[in-house]
Structures are given as structure tokens and as C-alpha cells.
Amino acid sequence: MALFKARRNRGTRNGHDVHPVDEVLPPGRMAAYGVQHVAAMYAGVVAPPLIVGEAIGLSPLDLTLLIGASLFTAGLATILQAVGVWKIGARLPFVNGVTFGSVAPILAIVGQQAEGTNPLSVIYGSVLIAGVLAFFVAPYFSKMVRFFPPVVNGTVITLIGLSLMPVGIGWIAGDDSSAPDYAAPAKIALGAMTFVLVLLFNRFLTGFWNRIALLIGLLVGTLVAWPAGLVDTSTFSQAPVFDLPLPFELGTPTFSITATLSICIVMLVAMMESTADMIALGEIVDRPADQRTIAAGLRADGAGSAISAVFGGFTCSAFAQNIGLVALTRVKSRYVVATGGVVLVLLGLFPMVGAVVSLVPQPVLGGAALVLFGSVAVSGIRTLGKADLGDPRTTLIVAGALGVGLIPVVAPEFYEHFPAALRTVLDSGISTGCIAALLLNLLFGSTRKPVPEHAPAAPATD
């Protein structure tokens, strides 16, 4: 029997059958599923502004405002991506938020600024330009989709799942191996318990409860952690009840050529990862991502990043962990993700409410994340099944790309002596693996036939 229960693929709207991606669910379920998406991504959204704010030395109030701005702009970018406006937005259950790949270059920019200056001003100016450039190059970048046959798709999707595993493990054990509580037995036990609970809830719960199994697992894990003193409530003492992010409140954009080039490289890497993520998500929801979809999605990345710079956030890109959530729950509606975007906006407007979500201990989140990220890897393996793995050339493509892509995953400092500009790409296993898969496929295999500018959606099945 399958580990995770399948749901019916076809929904209705106004009495007509619609693709599950376009299905509008009852409000209660939309809200619950949307909150579940926010719970899966929350730590990833708040971590970059927290790290950057601490590096700059922001006051607790300004740090709270920076985190709120990141949540607010992630919500706007997610709504734009899922609902779409004109030719902007992939119109898939695609979550956008602050890309962690921008943290290292931003910290480098912070270190280069003279004392007494506001580093956020230079950062926002760079993000603004990078976002605008990404918006305009999106249709040209999207033409890369023809170079993604199943052997490349499957390899990249598998790498996405495997590359995220250290993130989940880091949430359980901690990120500082020198800390006294690193990999403490209590943390590992809490993560293991949540991991098992999410699996069991997905296996034995049915219907609506099956779809929010991850949320239930996070709730139970948090309740168990509370009496053990592993729930941090300090955020409540710092978070204001309401705050409306204002344009350029934290810094008026100023422009630096070197800083802008650095963030533009980050944006290109983010676009490459977004392209791979959209292709992965298209496979999962049975609506293959064609050139128009990818171009629209990349435009949303660019527009979201530009808007983010205006309101105090950073570069916005895809959140791969939420693709794992779609794969795990089989809830494919883009309006569920848009509802999650609304929740993110509200969390940005009401930091006190956002503090409730932050109560979930990282070991609990890590235990659930292992199931999510594993689901992404399984989706990649399923896609690889469409390729002829009996062909030695295909095997070489997969083996070589996985080998290259896993280098920064298993040895994060492997490229430490390379130039900083190159490390922006090399330190991303998804990017290096994607490039390796593309080049090896050109060398040993053959690309698939050019994808139509607007490919028909795959038919829904019961």
C-alpha cells in the first residue's frame, strides 16, 4: 500500500472541471493549507534578515522591522507568483521568499562599507537593479527549458531534495558545531519524534487531516518541546503589535558597481534555481512548465525582488521546501499558496502574530523538513524513471551531475580558495549540478525537441 494517500486530481469551479492547480478549495481548508506552507518556509524567510541584521548591528526594534519587511515582501512575491498579473507569475503553487544564496554576498557588502554608513542602502540599491534586470531578461532566460529533458529534470529535482537535507539536519542539530548544545540528545529526540509523527500522520490520517499532517506534526512537536524548555518566547518581548512597512524606511537606495554586480550574479543563480524548481513543480502537479510559464515565473522573481528592495526585503526566489510540501500532500491548488502569501503579508503587518509562528523549535521544523525534502528527491527519481537509465550515456550524465552537485553539500568549504564571484555559483549544489547536467547532456545525450511557447497542460486524471 502506498505510504501517502492519493487525492482526486480533478476539482470544480462554477460547475466545470478544472485542473487541480486552478482548483479553489473551501475557505477553511485554504486557510489551513496556506498556514502549513507558511510553517514550512517561515524559518527560511526570517533567517537571512536575522543574520544580516545581526551583522550590521541593528537594534532589536530595527531587526524586528527588517524581519517583518522580509515576511511582507515574501507574501507579495508569493501572491504575484501564484495568482499572476499580465505576463508576470508562473500561476503554479510556487512560493517565493528571501533567497538564502544572497546572504554571503550581502555580508561581504556589509564588510566593505565605511564606518558610519548604512549598508542597507547599498544592498537595497543593488537588489533593486538586479530585480529590474531579471524582469527584462526573463523571456530570454526561459528558452533554456528546451535543454531540460527528463534526464536533466530528474537529476536536478533529485539534487534539490538532496541539497536541502543538510538544512533540515542543521535545524535539528544546530548550525554552530562549537555550541554546547550542538546535536544535544534532546534536540535529536525532538526532531526524530516529529519525523516519525509526520510519517505516521500521513500514513494513517485521511481526508482533510491527511492534508495538514505536517501542520499537526509541528503542533504536537512544539507542545512536547514546551515543558522541556526548548520553545523560545523571547520574540514576544520585542515584536510590536502592528507595523506597516514603508518604502525605503530602513534605507534609501544608493548604488555601487561592485555590489550591484555581486547581487546580479546572485539573481542569475536564483533564476537558474527557479527554472529548475518550476520544471520540478510542473512535473509534480501534472502541468509541465513551458517557456511562457518559466518566463512569467522569472518575471515574478525579478518584480518581487525589486518590490522587496523598496519595502526593506532582499532578493526573492523559489522556496524548494514548499515544492516538497506539494509533493507530500498532493494539494496542488495555486490559490492555497496565494492564501499562504496573504498569511505572510499579515505576519509582516502584525509582527506579534508572526511571533506565534516562530514558537516552533528548529528541531521540530527539521524533523518535518526531512520528510519534505525527501519527497522532492523521490519526485526527481520518479522523473529519472522516464529516462533510459539502461543507456550508459544516460548513466554518465546522472552520475556526473550528482557527483558535481553534491560537492558543496558534503563539503561546504570545498571552493573556499576560489574567487568570491565564482563561489556564488559553485557553493550552490543545485546550480552546479544543473550546469553539469546540462553540459553532460549536450556532450553525451541529446536535448528534447523544442518546447512550444505555450505547451498544453497535461490532462488531469482521477
Does 1 have pLDDT greater than 60?
A: no
The amino acid present at 349, given as its one-letter code, is L
What pLDDT sits at residue 368? 84
CA distance 183 to 193: 15
In angstroms, the CA 433 to CA 414 distance is: 15
pLDDT band with cut points at 50, 70 and 90 for residue 457: very low
Query: Is 226 a residue whose pLDDT tops 50?
Result: yes
Is 305 buried (19+), middle (13-18) or exposed (0-12) by CB count in 10 A? buried
Has residue 99 got a pLDDT over 50?
A: yes
The CB density around residue 412, as the number of other CB atoms within 10 Å, is 12
Q: Is the pLDDT of residue 180 over 70?
A: yes
What is the predicted pLDDT for the residue at 449?
Answer: 46
pLDDT averaged over the chain? 82
What is each CA distance from 443 to 256, 394, 397, 416, in whole angstroms?
39, 11, 9, 29
For 26, other C-beta atoms within 10 Å of its C-beta total: 9
Vertex 283, ends 285 and 218: CA angle to 5°?
Answer: 55
Give mean pLDDT, residues 22-51: 84
Contacts of 58 (CB under 8 A, 6+ apart): 66
Q: Say which residues have a Cβ less than 8 Å from residue 459's Cβ, sequence separation at least 6.
A: 286
The C-alpha atoms of residue 241 and residue 322 are separated, in whole angstroms, by: 28
Question: What b/e string do you get for 123-160 counting C-beta neighbours within 10 Å, with b at 16 or more?
Answer: bbbbbbbbbbbbbebbbebbebbebbbbbbbbbbbbbb
What is the predicted pLDDT for the residue at 458? 43
Query: Mind listing the pLDDT tens digit for each residue in 248-262?
Result: 888 888 888 878 887
Beta strands in 338-402 (DSSP E): none
For 227-243, the pLDDT digits (tens) are: 888 887 776 666 678 88
Output the nine-digit C-alpha cell for 279: 520544471
In this prediction, residue 454 carries a pLDDT of 55
Nearest partner of 39 among 236, 302, 220, 298, judged by Cα: 220
